Amino acid sequence: MHQPALNALVDVDPELAGLVEGEARRQHDKIRLIASENYVSTAVLEATGTVLTNKYSEGYAGRRYYEGQQFVDPIETLAVIRAKELFGVDHANVQPYSGSPANLAVYLAFLRPGDKVMGMALPMGGHLTHGWSVSATGKWFTSVRYAVTKETGRVDMDEVRDLARAERPKLIFCGGTAIPRTIDFPAFAEIAREVDAVLVADIAHIAGLIAGGAHPSPVGHAPVISTTTHKTLRGPRGAMLMSDAEHASALDKAVFPGLQGGPHNHTTAGIAVALREAATPEFSRYAHAVVANAKALAEALVDRGFDLVSGGTDNHLILMDLASKGIAGKPAAKALDRAGIELNYNTVPFDPRKPFDPSGLRLGTPAVTTRGLGVEQMPQLAAWIDQVVDAANTGQDAVIDRIAGEVAELMAGYPMPGWA
């Protein structure tokens, strides 16, 4: 059952309680390989389910527009201090509701409508909010997009430099949502200085790896850093903006009053707990294990004939092109979900298929590593993925059903925070 127990919810709304219990069991029983998902600790679950949700706190600690902040102010201050210490930054704002609003605050802080922003193109692994056309950031600002090379699946920094020199953007994003390789923060910083642009490192996917020392940090290279607080950081669904002292005031004003009203204090408390957990030696071991598992899984997939963008991974994320397997990403992802293996279909660089029916799959190891799976289990995961993809191609539903049972049996041996 769900932990903490849902006793009051069962009494008041048994229908909803049943749905929550069902989701908790689903998370427990399946192999969760969505690269942007994880499990928070029971302590984070408790913090986000407190009476802090009752309190309005517009403004910042010591400068609120409501009274009664005697406990909320220290909670937010604690989260800010922990973020600054963990990442080694001058300034942190823990109020953004999620990653996209955090990125929008960056635009509000440093650009005017129509100004140029440069970011990785979405089909190449970038994020919607880095200037893609369907996003407000692509509609309100002039977008300049860099790519990966077709031959390597990696960013060519010389091409990025040439594009920046030609277009002279005022803001440059590095980072994205489907990048399996280490981001070259020093090279991006050098380019940004050359064209007098503000460099923003979007580390939403890799924040936990950075905190744990398993990925290089953008601190000292990017004056502005944006991140979510879930994914590899294992916090609640929220976001943070971090910066050097020079850019702090503009970011704070952009978050409030520029975009938001009162922060979600229960989320702030959960962020504070997650940051405390991320400062421990245990978390550092976790971050390195995430990368080790991803590399082991990538190697096992390559051994089974899967084509991986860039040939492998340096971090938590694997991007797979299924074109050679004769199946598209969407039917493969749905078959894998039926088999108890949860991931997402995804475009791959230079994908000839449409975004809602792409050629690829995106998968990652943060959640399975939290559950305790190690490199010794990764070949089995690759074998199951291979068998399900083949079964989906040939209509072998019995194979998919068999693997679903095997997956549930495996995961029963690995405890999950939030389920007992």
CB within 8 A of 338, min separation 6: which ones?
400, 401, 404
Sign of the C-alpha dihedral computed for residues 382, 383, 385 and 386 taken in this order: positive
Tell me the CATH class for 289-411.
alpha beta
Query: Residues 46, 58, 73, 190: which is the catalytic one?
Result: 58
In the chain, where the domains are located: 47-278, 289-411
Query: Residues 237, 304, 338, 402: which is the catalytic one?
Result: 237
Amino acid at 112: R
What does the pLDDT look like over 372-415, one tens digit per residue? 999 999 999 999 999 999 999 999 999 999 999 999 999 999 99
228 tagged catalytic: yes
- When pLDDT is cut at 50, 70 and 90, the band that residue 206 belongs to is very high
Confidence at residue 63, expressed as pLDDT on a 0 to 100 scale: 97
Percentage helix, strand, coil for the chain under 3-state DSSP, each rounded to 5 = 50, 15, 35
From CA 127, how far away is CA 124, in angstroms rounded? Answer: 9
Amino acid at 196: D
Confidence at residue 20, expressed as pLDDT on a 0 to 100 scale: 97
List the alpha helices (DSSP H) in 304-365.
329-338
For tokens 């421990």, name the residue. Answer: 280
What pairing do the DSSP bridges indicate for beta strands 116-120 and 171-174? Answer: parallel
How many CB atoms are closer than 10 A to CB 151? 7
pTM exceeding the 0.95 threshold for the entire prediction: yes
What does the pLDDT look like over 22-68, one tens digit per residue? 999 999 999 999 999 999 999 999 999 999 999 999 999 999 999 99
Confidence at residue 274, expressed as pLDDT on a 0 to 100 scale: 98
CB 146 within 8 A of CB 118: yes
Mean pLDDT of 224-240: 98
Confidence at residue 59, expressed as pLDDT on a 0 to 100 scale: 98
47-278 is classed CATH 3.40.50.12780: no
Please provide the DSSP assignment of 346-363 as one string.
E--TT-SS-TTS-SEEEE
* Topology match between the domains 47-278 and 289-411: no
Query: Residues 228, 232, 369, 370: which is the catalytic one?
Result: 228
From CA 251, how far away is CA 271, in angstroms rounded? Answer: 19
Strand order, beta sheet including 224-228:
91-93, 239-243, 224-228, 198-202, 171-174, 116-120, 142-146
Mean pLDDT of 198-226: 98
231 tagged catalytic: yes
What does the pLDDT look like over 148-161, one tens digit per residue? 999 999 999 999 99
From CA 1, how far away is CA 267, in angstroms rounded? Answer: 23
202 tagged catalytic: yes
What is the percentage of the chain residues whose pLDDT exceeds 70? 100
Please provide the DSSP assignment of 400-412 as one string.
HHHHHHHHHHHHT
237 tagged catalytic: yes
Confidence at residue 232, expressed as pLDDT on a 0 to 100 scale: 98
Query: Residues 55, 170, 231, 234: which is the catalytic one?
Result: 231
CB 24 within 8 A of CB 357: no
